[in-house]
Structure 1
């Protein structure tokens, strides 16, 4: 089972090495409309920042001002210390990868030629550009032997989007701008693309600015979220868990939704303190020994492990009645489990999918404990309290209300 990477809930984002800086940036159109008014924003090197907000709040305008597809009316935009308004536009854009809906591919070019476009424009040797393109197709999960010679119309929506990402990365730009990159595909494909992009970002560590209308996507992908209101006003700029747990304004609370507690599940990892430790028996134990363990601890079931601590399943008290079999012969397969690096959302999904009262947590093959609905709820409350108090998760306690 793949696990969505979980970012630290206690680390303070930002304050590092700025790659992109917007200082008092504004865009006023000829009719007097202010699309963006005096926006200050800093994106650190290797950070993924999501711009979210309602339609017309200036998200895409802000993104396009960074690579000067739209010229700012005021303020300064710095890319790695360089003022972008003083850099030749085409040269600037070759330092920035740009991904839009549906990939924006050239329909008359093959997949390989699409990906090679920018390196060739930069004067790369054709063989070097081809080698880089083939490498990138593999990196985004497309088999070059199958897809390199195809044309965009021969690809699915998800495949076109992957090619778009590969093309944006072809010249190894330090910055990647993404404008609603996954919105044109169905929810299942979008989920897969998001997971693939998280995996990719863990490898390449680009500085990414992502525009999305989907707060769930922003929460899942971003290190920080910038919530914009009309006129490009910055309402809050924070880690996803903080935006969800401690909205800075009524506007932010309304935008992220009343179900922000559920959304927070997707950015909260499983901690050792969240786990329960039910009785453990071993596959080689006799049923009589397992029954003694269960009755001694007053438990109805136990986790079954092998001698190396690998999870084998579970065994109930009634499974131990009669016979001389070992535990390994009667233990039940464990259907509901998650990796230790999974999120609370993934654990909750496993509970629902398997109608389970608990979920096993594994560190590789090694069993480390179980998560129950009660401990999952406590973990979520601890996460919210930790952000509200500004303290590490391990310094928070949850008072349980007696049932």
Structure 2
């Protein structure tokens, strides 16, 4: 979809921002450009839509060399999202979002209709926000509008320069999650510039690590960049805590789950006490008759012996969906100070993840990387808990 063939940028004073960069981005792929300040990340991004003119090389979009195309027409084919959003302060949110379709000749009614659809898609009710002005929105809301505006002309390519860097960590985490959900629906070809390696690991299909002069040190999947740094530069850049970062790209697998005793919420407390005694367990998971999680019950909750499990079941706050990463599970454990996290497939309970099994899952991921085998084929020795 996007190919940079020997693309370089040298300024008149002799400064070389990018020496000679070769880069391929596949259709529907999200590629993150990371590296230290001054390595040419933003310059590379701006050369793709020719906000900065390259001094050498070719830029191909779908096989067409756009190096000598009309740059204005080129930019209207490419969505562009920047850190400060750049909304027009005198235009409403709806008209801001409709800007590019209007420039392309789409009539006002149709452009505004498309804008309303996109605002809905990024989680902003057009009836509530459409007639507001940028100053009336929070930073996170303005960032959502920036994404919607970039998508308004349905461009095949989206360029994003530190798109979530101007908001606080909580909002940034939420925006990243929302954007990943959005990307599952629209499947744009995206080049993302970020200084935040954790963001790149979470969002990208592939990460391109650049050093000074736009030199590619490694261009690979997030798990390979973290697990098998290609050079000493990459190893130093990703840091000694890359094992922790790897939690973000390691999914929860069925083999990671423990299966503690399960009791139905309709069971009596006497039946629950008998189950815990037989299993030698201190607690059990409470499920309803349909298999949905209702919480947990401990030995102390069964001592009165009368009533049902539903009457004494504790609400379970710490849970993650089955498709979650180990990092999400770890965050839940920390947030709720929990000794285990329930894993749900929709409403259906499938097991629990504990600190011990989380650690073993991470070990398995690392060892699979080293051995060059698929994650599901890797195995580690797990010492039974006392």
TM-score (norm 1): 0.92
- Between 388-397 and 231-240, report the one with greater CA deviation: 388-397
TM alignment of 1:1-400, pairs within 5 A: 19-400=1-382
Q: Deviations over 1:342-373 (max 9, x none)?
A: 11111111111222111111111111101010
Give the superposition deviation at 1:402: 8.5
Residue 14 of structure 1 corresponds to: none
Give the superposition deviation at 1:322: 3.9
Q: Deviations over 1:305-334 (max 9, x none)?
A: 122111122122232224332222222221
Higher RCO (C-alpha under 8 Å, 6+ residues apart): 1
- Between 113-122 and 319-328, report the one with greater CA deviation: 319-328
Distance 1:44 1:80 in 2: 10
SS, match of residue 133 in structure 1:
helix
Distance 2:49 2:23 in 1: 15
Moved over 3 A (4+): 400-403
Residue 6 of structure 1 corresponds to: none
Distance 1:49 1:98 in 2: 15
SS, match of residue 213 in structure 2:
helix
Distance 1:163 1:335 in 2: 32
Give the superposition deviation at 1:23: 1.3
Distance 2:304 2:81 in 1: 64
Give the superposition deviation at 1:284: 2.3
Give the superposition deviation at 1:400: 4.2
Distance 1:86 1:256 in 2: 37
Gaps of 5+ in 2: none
Distance 2:370 2:63 in 1: 34
Give the superposition deviation at 1:119: 0.9
Residue 9 of structure 1 corresponds to: none
Distance 1:65 1:322 in 2: 72
Distance 1:104 1:303 in 2: 50
SS, match of residue 38 in structure 1:
strand
Closer, same or farther in 2 for the Cα pair 1:86/1:353, shift >3 Å? same
SS, match of residue 236 in structure 1:
strand
SS, match of residue 303 in structure 1:
strand
SS, match of residue 71 in structure 1:
coil
Distance 2:366 2:314 in 1: 36
